[in-house]
Structure 1
Amino acid sequence: METRYLLRLDVEFDQNAWEQARRKASRFVLVTTVPEEWKGQQMDAQEILKLYKGQISVEMNFAFLKDPFFTDEIYVKKPERVAVLGYLFLLALAIYRVFQRRVRQFITPEHPLKGPGGRKLTRPTGQAIFQLFQYVNVVLLELPDGRIQRSLDRSLTPEQRRILQGLGLDESIYV
Structure 2
Amino acid sequence: MLKDPTILDAIYLKQPKRIEALGTVFIMALLLNGLLEWRVRENMKQETEPLILPGKRKSFNPTAEMLLAMLKSIQVIRVQIDGHTIRTVSAHVNDNVKRVVRLAGYDMAIYTAQSVETAGR
TM-score range, shorter chain: 0.7 to 0.9
Q: Partner letter of residue 97 of structure 2?
A: Q
Distance 1:166 1:68, change over 3 A: same
TM-score normalized by the length of structure 2: 0.76
Q: Partner letter of residue 153 of structure 1?
A: S
TM-score normalized by the length of structure 1: 0.55
Give the equivalent residue in structure 2 for 1:167. 104
Gaps of 5+ in 1: 1-60
Deviations 1:73-124 (A, max 9, x none): 1xx1223322222122111111111111111112259421101232112221
Give the equivalent residue in structure 2 for 1:11. none
Q: How far apart in 1 are the matches of 2:89 and 2:20? A: 39
How far did residue 155 of structure 1 move?
Answer: 5.2
Q: How far apart in 2 are the matches of 1:170 and 1:80? A: 38
2:61 to 123, 126, 137: 123
The two structures, once aligned, show a CA RMSD in angstroms of 2.2
Residue correspondences, number: 110
Trace 1:64-79 onto structure 2 (pairs within 5 A): 64=4, 67-69=8-10, 72-73=11-12, 76-79=13-16
Q: How far apart in 2 are the matches of 1:134 and 1:87? A: 24
Q: Partner letter of residue 74 of structure 2?
A: V
More strand by share: 2
Give the equivalent residue in structure 2 for 1:103. 40
Q: How far apart in 1 are the matches of 2:31 and 2:20? A: 16
Gaps of 5+ in 2: 113-121
Task: Please say if residues 39 and 105 of structure 2, whose CA atoms lie closer than 8 Å, have aligned partners that are also in contact.
Answer: no
**Relative CO higher for 1 or 2, CA cutoff 8 Å, sep ≥ 6?**
2
Give the equivalent residue in structure 2 for 1:81. 18
- Answer with 1 or 2: which has the greater Rg: 1
Task: Detail structure 1 runs of 4+ shifted over 4 Å in the superposition.
Answer: none
Distance 1:150 1:78, change over 3 A: same
